[in-house]
């Protein structure tokens, strides 16, 4: 049976380009790319084995193919394939960065029982790293608090987000991030959804919350601008595939429905 092959050159994925749509390359193409730097089994999708490979940075894309960044796949492949491509990239990255034991320096081996790199000398086990990120959309009446950092595309605003620190629960991390980034206090934190975000290994956990107290003060060096937007006059927003956008859209829909019922 042919395998579904995710071939990475750096963080770019090899895709066949057909009529503006992207597809995974044919397995028969692989020998032409030269011996891979690494090859990691991923499991199966629709009973097809899936494998993630890394090739050398100087590897050219074969005719009819391109190496593209994962963000370029948004809207051009279906969601399960996009998810799997993210997983494939993270597994390759994990394999590359865990060649040696972080405790004693011995070369690691892949475990037969679980997705772990084991040290044969000291038995230390290293698992793929997943970093939880809390995202919070603050609501005040019919307004949403949206912010932008300098690395966003021009004009784009989004919900607030930041990494959890060691020892924090999600709610504490969210309150701290909002306090640090815009100096607000919030209440009624409600879970929305989560999304794996492989840039490079985040797990986005999104919440809504309500404004409690404070005046918006953007954190210097972190937040370029933050302000309250009426829900009928929102700025440019992140890509529809992102959980940030889904969080904003779902909240606007909920507020509209609520204001309908109230009036």
Which residues of the shown chain bind Zn ion in the complex (CB under 5 A)? Answer: 101, 103-104, 106, 119, 121-122, 124
Range 142-145 contact pairs with CB under 8 angstroms and sequence separation of 24 or more: 142/230, 142/231, 142/232, 142/255, 142/259, 143/228, 143/229, 143/230, 143/231, 144/228, 144/229, 144/231, 144/234, 144/248, 144/251, 144/252, 145/182, 145/184, 145/211, 145/216, 145/226, 145/227, 145/228, 145/229
In the complex, minimum distance from the CB of residue 227 to Zn ion, in angstroms, rounded to a whole number: 51
Q: Which is nearer to Zn ion, 57 or 122 (CB)?
A: 122
In the complex, minimum distance from the CB of residue 117 to Zn ion, in angstroms, rounded to a whole number: 10
In the complex, minimum distance from the CB of residue 116 to Zn ion, in angstroms, rounded to a whole number: 13
In the complex, minimum distance from the CB of residue 98 to Zn ion, in angstroms, rounded to a whole number: 11
């Amino acid at each position: 049976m042919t395998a579904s092959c995710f071939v990475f050159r750096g963080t770019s994925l090899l895709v066949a380009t057909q009529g503006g749509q992207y597809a995974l390359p044919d397995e028969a193409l692989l020998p032409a790319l030269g011996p891979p730097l690494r090859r990691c089994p991923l499991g199966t999708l629709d009973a097809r084995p899936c494998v993630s490979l890394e090739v050398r940075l100087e590897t050219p894309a074969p005719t009819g193919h391109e190496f593209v960044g994962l963000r370029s796949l948004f809207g051009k492949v279906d969601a399960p394939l996009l998810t799997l491509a993210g997983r494939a990239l993270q597994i390759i990255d994990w394999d590359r960065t865990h060649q040696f034991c972080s405790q004693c320096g011995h070369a690691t081996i892949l475990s037969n029982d679980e997705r772990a790199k084991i040290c044969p000398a000291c038995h230390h086990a290293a698992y793929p790293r997943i970093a939880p990120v809390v995202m919070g959309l603050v609501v005040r009446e019919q307004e949403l608090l949206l912010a932008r950092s300098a690395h966003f595309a021009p004009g784009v605003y989004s919900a607030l987000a930041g990494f959890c620190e060691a020892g924090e629960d999600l709610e504490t991390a969210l309150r701290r991030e909002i306090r640090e980034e815009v100096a607000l206090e919030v209440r009624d934190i409600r879970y929305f959804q989560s999304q794996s975000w492989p840039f490079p290994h985040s797990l986005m956990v999104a919440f809504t919350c309500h404004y409690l107290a404070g005046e918006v003060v953007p954190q210097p060096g972190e937040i370029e601008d933050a302000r309250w937007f009426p829900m009928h006059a929102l700025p440019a927003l992140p890509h529809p595939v992102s959980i940030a956008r889904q969080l904003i859209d779902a909240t606007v829909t909920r507020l509209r429905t609520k204001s309908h019922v109230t009036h």
